[in-house]
Structure 1
Amino acid sequence: MKKIIGWLHLWLGISSGLIVLIVALSGSLLVFEDELEHLFQPSFYYVQVPPQAERISTDILADKVQQAYPGFKSNYIIVEPEANRTVLFSQRKGKAGKGNGKVMLIAVNPYTGQIIKAVDEKGRFFAVVLRLHRYLCMGDTGKIITGISCSIFTILIITGLILWWPKRNNRKQRFRVKWNASFKRLNWDLHAIFGFYINIFLLMISLTGLAWSYKWVNNLLFYALDGNIKSTKMKAPESLPVKDTHIAYLDKILSTTNEKLTHPGTIMIRFGENDSLAVTVSKVNTTASVSNVVDFMYFQKGTGELVQERPYAKESKGMKARRLFFPIHTGSIYGWPTKILALICAWVAASLPITGLMIWLGRKKKPSLKKHVNARVQYQ
């Protein structure tokens, strides 16, 4: 049985190795996406707060952005709780969700109304890395390839643990890397022992990753925890907009949201694909013990009237579990400690196809006993 498992582990690893390498390396970059973005582009995310300054109305800022980009529709607005943060506006032209539209991300100074900078959202470095991570920058075809590779990688993690499992007489050798050994032995230790120590973490990352590739994974989660199958996508309720109300409805939305949800956190105002849908507002709860705890509220466009509330506390068990998939997958669930762990796991995962290939090549080059004897006789 172990020979069969070894054969399966070998050929599945060879067939998916390159994809695993790409996905793991791109994933390692995405672990600290926010921190790196803010480090290398501070002027895009931060402003100097003038003394005794008052923030300009969000509705006025939105009008300035709309005038600067005619022909674009509002996609979403991000308002951070810190006083020194820019307000980010996403403006789209065409059907951006279908991949054939244009989306601009615009940073605005909330105290002066100045448009600091606008970037093509799809062309941002981390946006490209994310597409590489999820789809290999190949759209639906890439999604199929990464989904299959993620499934294979899950099998490799399980079969790798079986192959690593030590016999009684050599348990110590399976827990320690012999750094002064030959290159061949050291390479094997790096592959097997490092793989063992992060085995459970890689399994969690790969299993949660399957949720973005296969709908049945999400359905299975909801069926197991809620007893029924739901869509994991939360849809905004219908609410026809009211035009020309002359009401600062975005400010009203923000005020109502902060009154209802008193915890600190980032607020995102997202506009529907069509005007028949309510405006969706989400607020992250940064005081929660884990990340990605988000409350949702829905408002009528034009008036800012509250249409519906969707607090995190009233979500189903299935939805709460599904919300954990992203922070588990990215390592953000408990902040910096788990992010560092996720980064290490991504680097080790990227090394496994390389060390595994070298193990296989080493075995292929190993001379047979018959050739060794013939060579020795000939030498004598």
Structure 2
Amino acid sequence: MATDSQTTGPARSLSEKFYFTVWRWHFYAGLYVIPFLIMLAVTGLVMMYIAVFSGRDGEHISVTPTGVALSLEQQSQAALSALPDATLVEWIGTAQADRASVFRVKSEGTQHLVAVNPYDATVIDSWVRQAGWYDFANDIHGTLLIGDTGDRLIEIAAGLGIVLVLTGLYLWWPRTTGLRTVLVPDLAARGRALWKSLHAVTGFYISVVLVLFLLSGLSWTGIWGEKLVQAWSSFPAEKWENVPLSDDTHANMNHGAIKDVPWALEQTLMPESGSDAGIEGLPADVPATVDSIAMLGRALGYEGRFRINFPSGETGVWTLSQDSMSNDSDCPTCDRTVHIDQHTGKILADVGFADYSLMGKSMAVGIALHEGDMGLWNLILNTVFCLSVIFVSVSGVVMWIKRRPSGAGRLAAPPAPADLPLWKGAALICVVTSLAFPLVGLTLLAVLAFEVLILGTIPAVKRALS
């Protein structure tokens, strides 16, 4: 293969020029995306296995059942006594009789989790929330530990990851060989040819899942996710007839980077207590307490592990919730959130999976799949998928190293065609992409401008990156 098609080699056909152009874009996208893909796969595996075997919120802390469980009021008072100046934030129910009750409490400005034996109200353990290995991996996975800047870098990587998949599928498509050669790796090959076969075939088989994971990840990001998709897909609080609304959104029930609220509700305004609005929930003579709210939840159909958020202030509401986002269940279509007026006990809002928008439903299922929440099959699928992503990323680097001339003081990128065919069409694609994925489109425009204006006019830069 010629090392510089702009100056050597026979004239290429338009299809050959387009192939080399796509290869070059695939290569440059890979330079940026590969470190992120490896990071996302590794941290994703760490979080998934911690959630399964250790639990995210103490859900695997065991106790020995002895008789009948004490009231939640007694258990909550024990949790409060474990920390100074504590206030109750949330009760996290147990999925089994031999598991501890967990309370989220706020003490001196810090959120803690307190595990309580439900049979004798003794405090088993307490710890600062978001201080474990799960939370550390989650912060890397979402922000690279550098806040919004990390979020934006990951958003660009996820978008370019989709570019990487699409260009890779174009390169993978058989042109002169049979379909079998691209569906089954050529294990008889040696050297770079073997790595190329393994890279292409593995990449093909994970391509659909990779795009789905990248899209669900993008939906969490700060620009495409929060500002565009989520803003247009959130449940409209106006559907709650004559219910007074707070200035707070459901996202206020989240704690930092940990997502406790379904994606479709995060930007939805919370209802307020203190009016005659709502439908019958608790009987008029039954005060709203954590025990009566839990009984109401079971009467409404909540089973297994569910949560109760305590009211915050005079206008706050009791909130019953069970969703796969919080690892409460392995059934994303069973998501349900119910708000109750703390003064009247009336139900102000009741939102389930069926009430979500199409995008909200897609995200509920997609996030559960993304996190491996849907059972053993999901755990196995995600494990194989993440290991495959790591392999495809590493094999891409190996192919580049084997292709790069020994001792070359340059990048050894795929050769650029002499006249950059269809660059105007590429520019149009970049503009359209900018409208759908702003950060990704702007990045593609910047790369295209660099290719045309810098590489095309500065020989030293061209040599270094060729």
Residue 12 to residue 317, structure 1, CA distance change in 2 (3 Å): closer
Residue 15 to residue 313, structure 1, CA distance change in 2 (3 Å): closer
Name 2:147's counterpart in structure 1: 139
Report the alpha carbon displacement of residue 30 of structure 1 after superposing the two structures with TM: 2.4
Residue 134 to residue 226, structure 1, CA distance change in 2 (3 Å): closer
Any stretches of 5+ residues in structure 2 without a counterpart? 1-17, 237-263, 276-284, 409-466
SS in 2 for 1:54: coil
2:125 counterpart of 1:117: yes
The 8 Å contact of residues 202 and 388 in structure 2, kept in 1 or not, is answered as yes
Name 1:276's counterpart in structure 2: 315
2:96 counterpart of 1:82: yes
Any stretches of 5+ residues in structure 1 without a counterpart? 95-100, 369-380
Within 5 A, what are the aligned runs for 1:47-62? 47-50=63-66, 53-62=67-76
Residue 355 to residue 126, structure 1, CA distance change in 2 (3 Å): same
Name 2:39's counterpart in structure 1: 22
> After superposition, what is the alpha-carbon deviation per residue over 1:213-252, rounded to whole angstroms, capped at 9, x for unaligned?
145446447858999xx874344311159xxx99571000
TM-score, normalised with respect to structure 1: 0.82
TM-score, normalised with respect to structure 2: 0.68
The 8 Å contact of residues 226 and 318 in structure 1, kept in 2 or not, is answered as no
2:78 counterpart of 1:64: yes
Cα distance in structure 2, aligned partners of 1:63 and 1:367: 69
Residue 292 to residue 121, structure 1, CA distance change in 2 (3 Å): farther
Deviates more, 1:201-210 or 1:117-126: 117-126
Deviates more, 1:354-363 or 1:27-36: 27-36
SS in 2 for 1:23: helix
The 8 Å contact of residues 117 and 123 in structure 2, kept in 1 or not, is answered as yes
The counterpart of 1:293, out of the listed 327, 331, 334, is 334
Name 1:250's counterpart in structure 2: 290
Name 1:8's counterpart in structure 2: 25
> After superposition, what is the alpha-carbon deviation per residue over 1:267-312, rounded to whole angstroms, capped at 9, x for unaligned?
1112356542212111349999943521111123477553332243
SS in 2 for 1:45: coil
The counterpart of 1:165, out of the listed 157, 164, 173, is 173
SS in 1 for 2:271: coil
Report the alpha carbon displacement of residue 159 of structure 1 after superposing the two structures with TM: 1.1
Cα distance in structure 2, aligned partners of 1:3 and 1:22: 29
SS in 2 for 1:13: helix
SS in 2 for 1:258: helix
Cα distance in structure 2, aligned partners of 1:304 and 1:63: 22
Larger helix fraction of residues: 1
2:326 counterpart of 1:326: no
Cα distance in structure 2, aligned partners of 1:34 and 1:292: 20
> After superposition, what is the alpha-carbon deviation per residue over 1:76-118, rounded to whole angstroms, capped at 9, x for unaligned?
2100242112111112246xxxxxx522111111001011111
Residue 124 to residue 249, structure 1, CA distance change in 2 (3 Å): same
Report the alpha carbon displacement of residue 182 of structure 1 after superposing the two structures with TM: 1.8
Q: Report sequence identity in percent.
A: 21
Report the alpha carbon displacement of residue 318 of structure 1 after superposing the two structures with TM: 4.0
Within 5 A, what are the aligned runs for 1:209-288? 209-217=217-225, 219-220=228-229, 232-240=266-274, 249-261=289-301, 264-271=303-310, 274-284=313-323
Residue 318 to residue 146, structure 1, CA distance change in 2 (3 Å): closer
Name 2:387's counterpart in structure 1: 347
Cα distance in structure 2, aligned partners of 1:174 and 1:280: 52
Deviates more, 1:4-13 or 1:71-80: 71-80
Count of aligned pairs between the two proteins: 353
Amino acid across the alignment from 2:402: G
SS in 2 for 1:297: strand
SS in 1 for 2:24: helix
SS in 2 for 1:66: helix
